[in-house]
Amino acid sequence: MSVTSPLGFTAAGVECGLKDSGGRDFAVVVNNGPHYVAAAATTANRVYAAPVQWTREVVANRTLKAVALNSGGANACTGDAGYADTVATAHLVAAELGVIPADVAICSTGLIGELLDMDAIRAGVSSACSKLSDDGGEEAALAIMTTDTRPKQAVYSGDYSVGGMAKGAGMLAPQLATMLVVITTDAVLNEDEADAALKVAMGQTLDRIDSDGCMSTNDTVILLASGASGVHPSPEDFTEHLIEVAQSLGEQLIGDAEGASHDIAVNVHGASSQNAGLAVARAVSRSNLLKCAVFGDDPNWGRVLSSLGTVPESVAPFDAGSVDVAINGVTVCRNGGVGDPRELVDMSPRQVNIDIDLKAGAESVRVLTNDLTYGYVEENSAYSS
C-alpha cells in the first residue's frame, strides 16, 4: 500500500512505453487533502535535471497536490527543450486533476542526456490519472523502478500513518543518495514542522546510504501531508516515525543495490562529533578495495585502516594507533594493529557489520553501503543508464 496507506492519498502506476524493457514507467501520487503541506529535498549536484529544477520552484511555497514520476529517462542535460517537457507534463497532470501546474511536482529517472518521448508521457498522464485509487501505491512503486529488482515501500501505522516508496539501485550516494522517494502522511503538520522533520529524518537515514559514491542529477525526496487523520502529533513523535519509514526505505535501497551480494553497515563509534564520525564512515564506505574484499568474503581490515586514514585530522581527530576494528563481531584490528585472527570472521551472511572504534569521543554514526561485485560492473558497463 505504501504511499496510499495514509488517509487522503490516491495513486496509480501505468505502462506508457518509456522503458525499452517494458513494464510500468509512469506514476502519479495525489494528495486529496484536506491539507496540502509539502517539503522536499533535491540533489546537491550542480548538474541537475529539468524535473529537479521544476520541483524546486513549485515546492517553494510548501504546497503540493500531486507528484508525477517517470522511469525510462532522467530528462537531465537536456537543456531548454527538456525543461519545456517537464513543464508540459505538469500542465497535463494539472489539467487531468483540476489543479494548477504549480501544485504538481515532477520526478524523472533513467538515462541522462536524452529527451523524453512526450507521446508516451501524454499517454501515461492520461492513463494514470484515470486509474487513481486508494490502493494504487503498490503500482506506483513498481512504475518508478529502473535497475531495481523489487519495489521499495514502508509504512508506519498508528493513530496517524506514514507511507513511503522509493527507487534507486545505482548512482546512490549522498547528498542525497540517488533516489526518488515519495513519503505521505495523514498527520496534521504545518509547513515548518514538515520541513524540519524531513531535514532531520533525511540527515539520519537517506543521507547515510552510499552504494557507489556517485551522486545523481535527479535525486528527489518529497513529503506530502494531507492532515486527513485529524491527528496533530508532536514534532518529536512525527519525526521519529518519519525516520522509521525513511530508514526502512534506505535499507531496502542498499539491499537491492546493483549487483550487490553483501549489505555493509559501517558503524563508527567513539567519534569526537557526528561530522567526524560521518567523514570516517563515508571514507570507509567508498573504498572500492574494501568493497571488493567483502565481495570475496575477505575480512581485509587493512583496507578499513587505509581508508579511514585518508580523513584529515582537522575533520576527524583520532589516533590511528588506537583504532579498533571488528568485522562481524571479531576484533580483527586492535589499537591500529593486528587483533584476533581473521579466520574467526564468518563472512557468509549477506549482512556485514564493520565496527570501528576511534576512541576519540562519544558519538556514533552508521553509514550503509554494499560490496563491489562482477554484477555491479556488468550492470553499469553493459547498459546505458
Residues with a catalytic annotation lie at 178
10 in a known ligand binding site: no
* 385 marked ligand binding residue: yes
Q: How far is the CB of 102 from a copy of itself (least distance, A)?
A: 24
Three-state DSSP class for residue 295: helix
Torsion angle (degrees, nearest 10) of CA 67, 48, 242, 234? -90
Q: Choose which of 182, 303, 330, 370 interacts with a copy of itself (CB under 8 A).
A: 303
Answer yes or no: is 287 a known binding residue: no
Of the listed pieces 15-23, 142-150, 188-196, 215-223, which binds a copy of itself according to CB under 8 A?
215-223
Q: Quick check: 76 and 218 in contact, CB under 8 A?
A: yes
Report the nearest approach of a copy of itself to the CB of residue 296 (Å): 3
For the segment 68-127, give every residue that binds a copy of itself (CB under 8 A). Answer: 74, 76-79, 82, 111-115
Place of cell 576484533: 331
The least CB distance from residue 267 to a copy of itself, in Å, is: 19
Cis omega (within 30 of 0) for bond into 351: no
- Least CB distance to a copy of itself at residue 201 (A): 23
Residue 48 engages a copy of itself in binding (rule: CB under 8 A):
yes
Give residues with Cβ within 8 angstroms of 21, minimum separation 6: none
Number of residues that bind a copy of itself (CB under 8 A): 64
List the one residue from 242, 308, 356, 360 that touches a copy of itself (CB under 8 A). Answer: 308
Which residue lies nearer to a copy of itself by CB, 306 or 353? Answer: 306
Question: What does the block give as the cell for 210?
Answer: 552510499
Is residue 170 within the footprint of a copy of itself (CB under 8 A)? yes
Listed ranges 42-50, 155-163, 180-188, 198-206: which one lies at the site for a copy of itself (CB under 8 A): 42-50
Of 346-385, binders to a copy of itself (CB under 8 A) are 372-374, 376-384
C-alpha distances out from residue 65 to 29, 102, 188, Å: 9, 9, 15
| CA-to-CA separations, 3 to 165, 323, 355, in angstroms, rounded | 6, 43, 34
Chain Cα centroid distance, residue 106? 16
Number of C-beta neighbours around residue 337 at 10 A: 9
Pairing of strands 263-271, 351-357: parallel
State the residue for C-alpha cell 526505505: 249
Place of cell 513543464: 87
Contact 62, 174 (CB under 8 A): no
What minimum distance in Å lies between the beta carbon of 303 and a copy of itself? 7
CA–CA distance, 26 with 124 (Å, rounded to integer)? 6
Residue 333, beta-bridge partner list:
325, 338
Strand pairing category for 66-70 and 104-108: parallel
Q: How far is the CB of 234 from a copy of itself (least distance, A)?
A: 36
For a copy of itself, which residue of 32, 63, 272, 306 counts as binding (CB under 8 A)? 306
Q: Is 328 annotated as a binding residue?
A: no
Check the annotation: does 167 bind a ligand. Answer: yes
Known binder of ligand: residue 139?
Answer: no
- In this complex, which beta carbon is closest to a copy of itself, that of residue 160 or of residue 376? 376
With CB under 8 A as the contact rule, the residue among 169, 293, 354, 365 that binds a copy of itself is 293
Does residue 309 touch a copy of itself according to CB under 8 A?
Answer: yes
**First-to-last C-alpha distance (Å) of the chain:** 28
Binding residues for substrate: 146, 167, 178, 258, 380, 385
Which residues sit at the interface with a copy of itself, rule CB under 8 A?
A: 44-48, 74, 76-79, 82, 111-115, 170-171, 212-217, 286-289, 292-293, 295-296, 298, 300-303, 305-311, 313, 320-321, 333, 335-338, 372-374, 376-384
